[in-house]
């Protein structure tokens, strides 16, 4: 996604457990995990560029729907989402030094699914694609056919709010002469 907006980058996975803090709302949990990811890499980096971390959470009725544990769990999640509107919260964090100084924010997008037939859910689950995705779907894949409406940032649903991030990076570059 960063390539789409012309941002050079290196991938450095954060070696952290993606655990949501006890008692945190799903929205705040996404921001917390994004900060943890960025900080874990920033303390190991000597590069002057900011380190980006992100985390996406699907929220239905105040409950975070994480990655499904198994196909049965994926079917259940998709069945709950069918015909309803849910929130996708993407936390973004940027850290820029070994002390992990930085900024973070959350972008919330409302996504409405159309009614789904059990056979559609079964076919999508059988593809294996829902198994590594929050809420058991990827809007950028064939689950796009499930989406009736998106209110907010489509790219935040995919996993990174590109418009807001690009504005931040432009300001960063101006401030730091990059």
Outline where 13-117 has alpha helix (H).
26-42, 71-81
Q: Which residues contact 178 (CB under 8 A, 6 or more apart)?
A: 48, 49, 172
55 is catalytic: yes
Q: What is the Cα–Cα distance from 95 to 37, expressed in whole angstroms?
A: 9
Q: How far is CA 143 from the centre of its chain?
A: 16
Q: Which of 10, 55, 97, 122 is catalytic?
A: 55
Number of H helices, E strands in the chain: 5, 5
Cα distance between residue 161 and residue 154, in whole Å: 8
Give, in degrees to the nearest 5, the angle at Cα 83 between 23 and 116.
115
Task: Supply the residues annotated as catalytic.
Answer: 55
């Amino acid at each position: 996604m960063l390539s789409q907006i012309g941002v050079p980058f290196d991938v450095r996975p954060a070696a952290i457990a993606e655990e949501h803090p006890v008692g945190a709302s799903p929205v705040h949990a996404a921001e917390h995990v994004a900060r943890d990811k960025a900080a874990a890499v920033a303390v190991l980096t000597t590069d002057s560029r900011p380190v980006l971390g992100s985390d996406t959470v699907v929220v239905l009725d105040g409950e975070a729907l994480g990655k499904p544990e198994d196909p049965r769990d994926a079917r259940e999640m998709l069945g709950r989402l069918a015909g309803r509107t849910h929130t996708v919260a993407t936390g973004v964090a940027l850290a820029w030094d070994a002390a992990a100084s930085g900024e973070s924010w959350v972008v919330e997008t409302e996504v409405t699914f159309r009614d789904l037939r059990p056979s559609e859910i079964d076919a999508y689950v059988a593809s294996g694609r829902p198994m590594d995705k929050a809420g058991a779907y990827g809007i950028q894949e064939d689950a796009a056919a499930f989406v009736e409406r998106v209110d907010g940032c489509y790219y935040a649903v995919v996993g990174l709010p590109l418009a807001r991030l690009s504005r931040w990076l432009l300001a960063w570059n101006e401030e730091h002469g990059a």
